[in-house]
């Protein structure tokens, strides 16, 4: 992980223990700190190195990763928020088995065709072949819906709103990427059934708004809410809505989370019927919706820099780290006591704070280590701070330093954490908006695509035209496709033509390469 970089020298200079350019290699060899590549120079390698610094550990099966406590804490914070919100909507948690029988999995033709290449199968028990192979869930529609058919009989059984927090396995793919594209991942999946389409439509958007809040309010990542194209919608569903993020460094979109209206297709296949108030038999209307640990990868890609991770305060398991800076002949114990008292005051106020009193590392090393881990705010306490009854704060997002009186510490830190959260979102939003390019013609589209832009283009909304765009842009870096048609549509002047087909345009749609 460590490698020669300007950053290492800079960190060494920042620490009171010194360590100039001449000793840089010795320091790095001793500490193993620092990234060997810059984000703008080799994004893939940079991302891998940042993830390896206490977020994940690589496993001996390709595409599988160990989630370490530093990343698991982020997932738990999002889970706590989302779980409470869906419970307000009367959604109840449950758990269904990991295994799926082939007969059930293959019942919905379009659905299984969409997932077939990714399904992992259990074919042996010990050394014996199983008489019937068993699939491992890639998603749980076909696992759950035979039992919805059993549990739903009349209109009083509706709505049925269930969610499960679980893992899923999607096996066949190339280029595994931690959090973004893995063979096994954690997610929640909600599965609901209603008497009317109006109820289903309403819930789709309510859930999508919760996903927007996870990204924008917790992860400080700007997203676009919109509708997926017919080609990109959930296999077997009626329509799919999504929140879409964009990574400026790679020029790629990321499908952040999806909320699907399944219509009555699965109800028909699995015979999920109910008797209405008039005694007539009707099919239910269904939704499914999910977000996964992919959220964490999007956050890392959006905010990280050449020093490592930058965590938004709302999802950081440690929001403030307090570091003693004892100079020679200083009152070391007094400084340590001040650090402990500072953490106690912050913790009492509900701020997630820790002190780093390890005596086998210099303050400069600790600065670099906690910066790499992305802790939003660092507090330094040295002899002068002790003397002046103050502390020094250093922001991870922009490096701004400030001396503040200990008497107003808690209020000031709360305010700083709010400012950091807001600033991280604004900076990310400005970077994203700088990448948006509105185009009208095919030539403009190709130029924008090669410039790694998030392209907003007038489109005729025809499946064949999207397939054609994919075919014409296919290359080493992947083909362009629709990301979503935003709900907030710019004005489409009468007579506007589709950029790809020349036919009358029906809507504005975001296009680009994606993960």
pLDDT one-digit tens code per residue, 271-324: 999 999 999 999 999 999 999 999 999 999 999 999 999 999 999 999 999 999
Q: 153 and 245: one domain?
A: yes
The share of the chain scoring above pLDDT 70, in percent, equals 93
> Burial, 96: exposed, middle or buried (Cβ in 10 Å; 0-12, 13-18, 19+)?
middle
Contact between 33 and 26 under an 8 Å Cβ cutoff? The reply is: no
pLDDT score, position 107:
79
Any idea what the CATH number is for the domain that residue 277 is in? 3.30.930.10
Structural domain span for residue 295: 57-303
Q: Is residue 340 part of a domain?
A: yes
> Burial, 157: exposed, middle or buried (Cβ in 10 Å; 0-12, 13-18, 19+)?
middle
Q: Is residue 12 part of a domain?
A: no
pLDDT score, position 109:
67
Residue 196 has pLDDT above 80, yes or no: yes
pLDDT score, position 120:
93
Measure the CA–CA gap between 78 and 73, rounded to whole angstroms: 9
Q: Is residue 426 part of a domain?
A: no
379-426 pLDDT per residue, tens: 999 999 999 999 999 999 999 999 999 999 999 999 999 999 999 999
346-383 pLDDT per residue, tens: 999 999 999 999 999 999 999 999 999 999 999 999 99
pLDDT score, position 108:
65
Q: 121 and 244: one domain?
A: yes
Of the chain, the end-to-end C-alpha distance in Å amounts to 24
Q: Is residue 358 part of a domain?
A: yes
Q: 457 and 368: one domain?
A: no
Any idea what the CATH number is for the domain that residue 410 is in? 3.40.50.800
Q: Is residue 21 part of a domain?
A: no
pLDDT score, position 19:
36
Element (H, E) at 140: none
Higher pLDDT, 30 or 413: 413
Q: 77 and 184: one domain?
A: yes
pLDDT score, position 115:
75
Boundary (domain end) residue, out of 352, 384, 418: 418
Q: 139 and 206: one domain?
A: yes
478 pLDDT band (50/70/90 cuts)? confident
29 pLDDT band (50/70/90 cuts)? very low
Its pTM stands at: 0.91
Element (H, E) at 393: strand 390-395
Q: Total structural domains in the chain?
A: 3
Q: Is residue 493 part of a domain?
A: yes
Q: 134 and 187: one domain?
A: yes
Nearest to 195 by CA among 239, 153, 140: 153
Contact between 242 and 257 under an 8 Å Cβ cutoff? The reply is: yes
CA distances to 43, 174, 287, 457, 483 from 475, rounded to whole Å, are 19, 15, 35, 21, 18
Measure the CA–CA gap between 251 and 448, rounded to whole angstroms: 10
Range scoring the smallest mean pLDDT among 90-94, 100-104, 127-131, 280-284:
100-104
Q: Is residue 2 part of a domain?
A: no
32 pLDDT band (50/70/90 cuts)? low
Q: 450 and 411: one domain?
A: no
pLDDT score, position 122:
96
The helix-helix angle for 294-303 and 69-88 (nearest 10°) equals: 120
Q: 372 and 475: one domain?
A: no
pLDDT score, position 113:
76
Within 32-123, residue ranges assigned H as helices are 43-52, 69-88, 102-105, 109-115
In eight-state DSSP terms, residue 194 is E
Q: 157 and 83: one domain?
A: yes
Contact between 258 and 290 under an 8 Å Cβ cutoff? The reply is: yes
Boundary (domain end) residue, out of 244, 274, 303: 303
Q: 339 and 372: one domain?
A: yes
Q: 242 and 366: one domain?
A: no
Mapped onto helix, strand or coil, the DSSP state of residue 259 is strand
pLDDT score, position 214:
98
Boundary (domain end) residue, out of 268, 303, 338: 303
Average pLDDT over residues 339-350: 98
Average pLDDT over residues 83-106: 95
Q: 119 and 268: one domain?
A: yes
Measure the CA–CA gap between 459 and 497, rounded to whole angstroms: 7
Characterize the bridge pairing of strands 377-381 and 320-324.
Answer: parallel
pLDDT, mean over the chain:
92
CA distances to 36, 56, 152, 274, 514 from 43, rounded to whole Å, are 12, 17, 50, 53, 15
């Amino acid at each position: 992980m460590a490698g020669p970089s300007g950053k290492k020298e800079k960190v060494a200079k920042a620490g009171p223990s010194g360590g100039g350019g001449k000793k840089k290699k010795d320091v790095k060899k001793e500490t193993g700190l620092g990234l060997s590549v810059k984000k703008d120079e080799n994004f893939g390698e940079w991302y891998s190195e940042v993830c390896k610094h206490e977020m994940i550990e690589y496993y001996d099966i390709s595409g599988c990763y160990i989630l370490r406590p530093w990343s698991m804490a982020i997932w738990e914070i999002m889970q706590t928020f989302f779980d409470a919100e869906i419970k307000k909507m009367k959604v109840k948690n449950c758990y269904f088995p990991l295994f799926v029988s082939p007969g059930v999995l293959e019942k919905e033709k379009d659905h299984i065709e969409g997932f077939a290449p990714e399904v992992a199968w259990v074919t042996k028990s010990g050394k014996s072949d199983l008489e019937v192979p068993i699939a491992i869930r890639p998603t749980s529609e076909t696992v759950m819906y035979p039992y919805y058919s059993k549990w739903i009989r009349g209109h009083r059984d509706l709505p049925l709103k269930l969610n499960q927090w679980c893992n899923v396995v999607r096996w066949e793919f190339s280029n595994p990427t931690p959090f973004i594209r893995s063979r096994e991942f954690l997610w929640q999946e909600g599965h609901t059934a209603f008497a009317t389409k109006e109820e289903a439509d309403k819930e789709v958007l309510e859930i999508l708004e919760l996903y927007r809040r996870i990204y924008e309010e917790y992860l400080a990542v700007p997203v676009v809410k919109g509708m997926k194209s017919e080609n990109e919608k959930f296999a077997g569903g009626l329509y799919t809505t999504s929140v879409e993020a964009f990574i400026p460094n790679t020029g790629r979109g990321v499908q952040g989370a999806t909320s699907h209206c399944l219509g009555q297709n699965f109800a028909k296949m699995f015979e999920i019927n109910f008797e209405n108030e008039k005694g007539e038999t009707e099919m239910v209307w269904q939704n499914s919706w999910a977000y996964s640990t992919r959220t964490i990868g999007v956050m890392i890609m959006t905010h990280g820099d050449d020093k490592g991770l930058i965590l938004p305060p709302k999802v950081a398991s440690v929001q403030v780290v307090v570091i003693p800076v004892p100079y020679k002949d200083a009152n070391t114990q007094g400084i340590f006591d001040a650090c402990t008292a500072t953490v106690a005051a912050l913790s009492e106020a509900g701020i997630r704070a820790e002190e780093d009193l390890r005596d086998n590392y210099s303050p400069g090393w600790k600065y670099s280590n906690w910066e790499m881990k992305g802790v939003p705010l660092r507090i330094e306490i040295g002899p002068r701070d002790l003397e002046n009854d103050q502390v020094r704060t250093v922001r991870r997002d922009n490096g701004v330093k400030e001396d503040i009186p200990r008497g107003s510490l808690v209020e000031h830190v709360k305010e700083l954490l709010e400012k950091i959260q807001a600033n991280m979102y604004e900076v990310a939003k400005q970077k994203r908006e700088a990448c948006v390019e509105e185009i009208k013609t095919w030539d403009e589209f190709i130029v924008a695509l090669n410039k790694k832009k998030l392209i907003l283009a007038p489109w005729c909304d025809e499946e064949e035209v999207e397939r054609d765009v994919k075919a014409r842009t296919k290359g080493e870096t992947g083909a362009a496709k629709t990301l979503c048609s935003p709900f907030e549509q710019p004005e489409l002047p009468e007579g506007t033509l589709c950029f790809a087909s020349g036919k009358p345009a029906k809507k504005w749609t975001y296009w680009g390469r994606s993960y």
